[in-house]
Amino acid sequence: MDAQSTALIPQDDWYAIIDLVTQSVDSPHSKRAYSRALIDFLDWYDSNGRPGFTKATINAYREAMLQSGKSRSSINQALSAIRKLAAEAADNGLVPPTLAYGVERVKGVKQEGVRAGNWLTKEEAEQLINTPVTRWRQEEIPLRKAIRDQAILAVMIGTGLRRSEVADLTWEMIQQRDGRWAIIDLVGKRGRVRSVGIPPWVKVALDRWGQTAGWQDGRIFLALNKDGSLAGSVRTKGGHRTDGNVTPQAIYNVVKEHVLAAGYYNRKGEAALAAHDLRRTAAALALKGGADLRQIQQMLGHASITTTERYLEPMRSLQVTAGDFIQIELALATG
């Protein structure tokens, strides 16, 4: 084994390797995804005796992920992170360029079709958005949390924002244009800028939160203590200091909490919907309500309308299916 093939993975400080990749990308979402993927890879690499950072090793890891039942999209995301690691390692003189080139040539897993995912009907969406208020009336959560969480859910379902975009939302971005309220100059994935119209009911939820929070300046959604008071700037258990604003992970947790409270869980008792499914719900409700493809593309911030079409394909295909044209009369057994 070439000594240079093992030098990439330091014995004590693996996080230095993860930082090498995450610092080379701009998107917070990519940073989180690549970090998770590389932690999983490095755990596997260590448990398999550090076989060397080679194309053969990455192919073996690819096969291990397939055998473990990981989704094809997760596998391809992990391989993308590892390819990025190889490129950065070569650029920083940690591995020979030829070795990095071999790793970069590892093929992804072919993915056919489109995952349906999950989305809510209008009635289900209304129930979820109103769940925080219902829980407050039942004295399960403080009033300030109920108002904040309802506004978060309303923004996600009414505008289709990603959770990172919701976390970064500021009051200054909420402006009037052509007699209506909108989110102006929202910076989304890969730095793409868009503006998104705000439905009146979403604006009502935002205004209610602004009045409750006590100011409408800077970041919209603030962190709360368990008693509902504003968290402010505090030092966490991990030694870091928060700025009093919610994080994308906090948005994820808010969605999960109220999804379970609303009764949307799977057979394992886990939340049946994640934060991204509310973005999918926004697209589904807009489509069913009569929005055209370009309007939905603008709302979601997709660079290509083809991406929007693929996003909407499962929703369209399930509205009327081929099976609906097969009419069979059943003879039912009765006791």
Cα 334 off chain centre by: 48
> In the predicted model, what is the mean pLDDT of residues 72-86?
86
Angle of helix 72-91 relative to helix 15-22, nearest 10 degrees, comes to: 90
Query: What is the tens place of the pLDDT at every residue in 264-312?
Result: 887 777 888 889 899 989 998 998 888 988 999 989 888 888 888 887 8
pLDDT at 1: 44
**Domain spans, the chain:** 3-104, 122-319
- 233 vs 153: which has the higher pLDDT: 153
Alpha-carbon distance 305 to 34, whole Å? Answer: 26
According to CATH, the topology of domain 3-104 is DNA polymerase; domain 1 (1.10.150)
Residue with token string 């060397």 = 52
Structure tokens at 222: 């603030």
213-220: Cβ within 8 A, 24+ apart: 213/144, 213/148, 216/171, 217/171, 217/172, 218/170, 218/171, 218/172, 219/167, 219/168, 219/169, 219/170, 219/171, 219/245, 219/246, 220/151, 220/169, 220/170, 220/171, 220/174
pLDDT grade, residue 115 (50/70/90)?
very low
- 30 vs 240: which has the higher pLDDT: 30
CB neighbour list of residue 257: distance below 8 Å, 6 or more residues apart: 149
DSSP 129-193: HHHHHHHHHTTSS-HHHHHHHHHHHHHHHHH---HHHHHH-BGGGEEEETTEEEEEEEE-GGG-E
Alpha-carbon distance 85 to 16, whole Å? Answer: 11
- 240 vs 99: which has the higher pLDDT: 99
Asked if pLDDT for residue 134 goes beyond 90, the answer is yes
Alpha-carbon distance 18 to 76, whole Å? Answer: 18
In which region does residue 244 sit, left (phi positive, over 0), alpha (psi from -120 to 50) or beta (all else)?
left
Instruction: Say which CATH class 122-319 falls into.
Output: mainly alpha
Alpha-carbon distance 149 to 171, whole Å? Answer: 16
Is the CB of residue 163 less than 8 Å from the CB of residue 282?
A: no
| Residue 100: Cβ within 10 Å count | 22
> In the predicted model, what is the mean pLDDT of residues 212-231?
89
Asked if pLDDT for residue 27 goes beyond 80, the answer is no
